[in-house]
Amino acid sequence: MATQDEFPEPARSHHDDKWKRDGVRVVPGNQLDPNVPSTAGMDRNAAINFARVGAQKLWAGTVTIKPDAKTGAHHHGHLESVIYVVRGKARMRWGERLQFTAEAGPGDFIFIPPYVPHQEINALPDQELDCVLVRSDGEAIAINLDIEPVEKPETVLWVDPTHPDPAPR
């Protein structure tokens, strides 16, 4: 077990007590921000980023992919990404022509290096794919690519407060 001597408290001004109030931030699961860059076929929601909690080096949130849905090809620029599968079955395709594939289930982690073209696929036709997503910077970058995917993406409109559904039900 680590002792306090191994992890000394950082030098702080005697009057700087802000860390006592703001040292830990909790973002309730029902208060995630859906206004983040997304890719057709998935819904991303931000929990941890600079705007919400002041995170300098991380972005974290959730992603849900509808049953049997496939995203378009994309990458996340210079960011590293980790996906933790909570529920469902993820099929990942990656490569210059999305020619490589791997699958992951609940409890599995997926690592995506910077600039790697990839496509997320919900491999189940009757259950949503729910994941936790963490990126190596406070930015939310999603760069959609014009690659002919091996598995065609689902046509999903991006509907949010600034992009209303063109065919309301």
> Encoding tokens for residue 138?
């406070």
pTM: 0.74
Residues of the chain with pLDDT under 50: 155-160, 162-163, 169
**Burial of residue 151 (number of CB atoms within 10 Å: 0-12, 13-18, 19+):** middle
Which structural domains are found in the chain, ordered by start? 32-144 (2.60.120.10)
Read off the pLDDT of residues 19-36 as tens digits, 9 standing for 90 and up: 677 778 888 889 998 888
